[in-house]
Amino acid sequence: MKRNTITALRLLLIALLLLGLTNLLRTRSEQRAAEQAAGAAAEAAGLDKLPLPKEESDPVAAALLATDLAALREVNPDVVGWISIPDTPVNYPLLQRDSNEYYLDRTWQGTYNPNGSIFLEKECAADLSDFNTIVYGHNMVSDAMFGTLDSYQNADYLAAHPCVYLRTDTGVWRYRVFAAYEATLQDACYRLGITTRSAKEEALRRIQSTNPLDTGLWPGFEDQILTLSTCTNNRRSRRFVVISVLEEVVAAEGAEGSPLDGAAGKPSF
- Per-residue confidence (pLDDT) for residue 262, from 0 to 100: 42
- Per-residue confidence (pLDDT) for residue 88, from 0 to 100: 97
Residue 79 is assigned to a structural domain of this protein: yes
Q: How far apart are CA 144 and CA 161, in angstroms?
A: 16
More confident residue, 127 or 33: 127
Q: How far apart are CA 45 and CA 82, in angstroms?
A: 9
Residue 266 is assigned to a structural domain of this protein: no
Nearest in space to 143 (alpha carbons), one of 85, 88, 181 = 88
- Per-residue confidence (pLDDT) for residue 57, from 0 to 100: 72
User: Over the chain, what is the mean pLDDT?
Assistant: 87
SS3 184: strand
Residue 62 is assigned to a structural domain of this protein: yes
Residue 267 is assigned to a structural domain of this protein: no
Residue 240 is assigned to a structural domain of this protein: yes
Q: Residues with Cβ < 8 Å from 117, sequence gap 6 or more?
A: 92, 93, 95, 103, 106, 107, 108, 137, 145
Q: What angle do CA 180, 206, 132 make, to 5 degrees?
A: 70
Residue 71 is assigned to a structural domain of this protein: yes
Percent of the chain with pLDDT over 90: 70
Domain count, the chain: 1
Q: What angle do CA 106, 190, 204 make, to 5 degrees?
A: 140
Q: What angle do CA 34, 99, 147 make, to 5 degrees?
A: 35
SS3 164: strand
- Per-residue confidence (pLDDT) for residue 264, from 0 to 100: 43
Residue 269 is assigned to a structural domain of this protein: no
pLDDT tens profile 127-165:
999 999 999 999 999 999 999 999 999 999 999 999 999
- Other Cβ atoms within 10 Å of 212 Cβ, number: 9
CATH at 234? 2.40.260.10
For residue 75, the enclosing domain spans 9-251
Confidence of residue 236 (pLDDT cuts 50, 70, 90): confident
Q: How far apart are CA 162 and CA 35, in angstroms?
A: 24
Residue 134 is assigned to a structural domain of this protein: yes
Lowest mean pLDDT across 55-64, 86-95, 164-173:
55-64
